[in-house]
Structure 1
């Protein structure tokens, strides 16, 4: 550091948090100062969380929304690495040969990095400037039938799930559950879907990241069409260009889903639609997260828009998509041009 006085020394801080690109920053620390060690620790912490070092999280905000920050790494050539999942790899392989390919991240096979195996896919944010991002979890349930069945076979009482329940709704537990201070996993799984728009609208908002970097994941009780519309209004700032672009993209996805061989023979659970727009009014939607998407037995197909009854494996994906399109259509008709 040219020009630093002799009573200062220069140290290099190299952040090494998992999932962040390597970076080094030079800082000047006073020599002979009894508090220099303490100051260095403080400065090192500040640099560790500097905007430059945090660029990975800023560039990939859906990682924060989905709550899987430890599952992702940055990669070269406009790609990202997602921790390997056998079922997701199988789905992505098949989707690359399906008519849905334009609506999912391009898949480039699996790689090993730092001893971990990852699925390699395109960075969906590469062409956006300071993007706003929304994650919508699709379907009338977000658990597999086999998960429910397994949980029923061993219905142990879960105090952690009881705590999660009362944090959202103190009145939700029954008298017996309150006395036990615990609930079973099947009870929690089914209750969780009823408090949001999952059970009523066939999707729920998981989180929103705005262009100022702020993140909101407080949508557990967003349930009605009006509440969803208000969340979209805040997300898009009522910009009609963006609302129309989202609506049209969803319509294109729906048209493609209706003729997709992949969609017809898969139970799509826990998958999301990722909404992205920026200050230039660019707006796109992609289908992401296929870790719980499972193929059906040979010869079986799903309609994706009829009620779920245990055993029929219906996921309600199209029901949710239709409701999203209806909401955005109504909003775009009433919104003013930005």
Structure 2
């Protein structure tokens, strides 16, 4: 599927840095997508590589950029990250652009410099919901039919008697149940999906829970290529070192964020932190170590515990030297 999307010129630059473009052709628009598009520039065309990463609306930007529907919380995260030691490990952020009266966060398309890349999304941490979501669910419960349908599609016996009667479940109940099926609770991360070069997306990892299952999936993703594994392992170790010293990381609850893995046939590899829509700044008196087990109220997310496990798994997949 090819998408043609270009802008003719910048028509306005506001004092706060918001750009407005005049489009010169009809853009390809994908509203309300649950499967994300990461767009690769290839032979002057945009090849859509679909992987479970973000929820939102996307446009293809010019000059190797991607436009994601504006979220103020995510914007604030990127602004801070551009001043933090984590900057090399996140997409470069280029401000807010406006299209059809809708604001978008503009960031680098991380696939631009890869040749027919393979991509994988790993959701990090021991939970994917904010503590405030639990509070809201208790105070203003809103059972959802779509969550119920997702649950029974995986396990028809999972809903309670009350949930079956309502044909609906709370979003937080679904998310907590969903996490018990995967390696989120056992390893602190889970594979959301991957796409190897010239293949369809693989997203059937809802029940990938044990170390052995995760290793099998990772080995499939890299086609047993130890050069690729070494590249990923080096990058993850660098990331861990920077995370442990990052002021941003210590002062934020990082929930629902992913690591994007990218490699291609040349042996080039890259790993970046993405998706900060749920990342929340902490009160000034609170700092996280991201390894302490979560208990409601402590705001811990298990991100570093998951990264430790991921690094350990990759290390054990490599031959001893």
Alpha-carbon deviation of 1:138?
0.6
Matched, 1:93 2:93: no
2:217 equivalent in structure 1: 231
Please name the residue that 1:181 is paired with: 167
**1:214 corresponds to:** 200
Contact 2:27 2:59 in 1 (8 A): no
CA distance in 2 between partners of 1:155 and 1:242 (Å): 46
Aligned residue number for residue 9 of structure 1: none
Whether 1:18 and 2:8 are equivalent positions in the alignment is no
Displacement of 1:155 after TM fit?
A: 2.3
- Report the 3-state secondary structure (helix = DSSP H, G, I; strand = E; otherwise coil) of the residue aligned with 2:96: strand
Question: CA RMSD, aligned part only?
Answer: 2.3
Does the residue aligned with 2:291 lie in a helix, a strand or coil? Answer: coil
Give the 3 Å change call, closer, same or farther, for CA 183–111 of structure 1 in structure 2: closer
User: Deviation at 1:248?
Assistant: 0.8
From 245, 253, 274, the equivalent of 1:259 is 245
Q: 8 Å contact 2:147–2:171 — kept in the other structure? A: yes
Deviation at residue 15 of structure 1 after TM alignment: 7.9
Aligned to 1:66: 53
Q: Is the 8 A contact 2:187 2:306 kept in 1?
A: yes
Out of 80, 101, 112, which is 2:98 matched to?
A: 112
Partner of 1:153: 139
Which has the larger Rg? Answer: 1
- Matches of 1:184 and 1:259 in 2, distance apart? 37
The answer for the alignment partner of 2:46 in structure 1 is 56
Q: Structure 1: how far apart are the matches of 2:318 and 2:92?
A: 30
The more displaced of 117-126 and 313-322 is 117-126
Equivalents in 2 of 1:331, 1:209: separation in Å? 20
Residue of 134, 141, 150 corresponding to 2:127: 141
Higher strand share: 2
Give the CA deviation at 1:161. 2.0
Aligned residues: 287
Using the alignment, how far apart are the partners of 2:59 and 2:43 within structure 1?
14
- TM-score w.r.t. the length of structure 1 is 0.80
Give the match for residue 272 of structure 1: 258
Mean Cα displacement is larger for which, 180-189 or 201-210? 180-189
Q: Which has the higher helix share?
A: 1
CA contact (8 A) 1:155 1:185 kept: no
Which consecutive residues of structure 2, in runs of 5 or more, have no partner in the other structure?
A: 1-24, 32-41
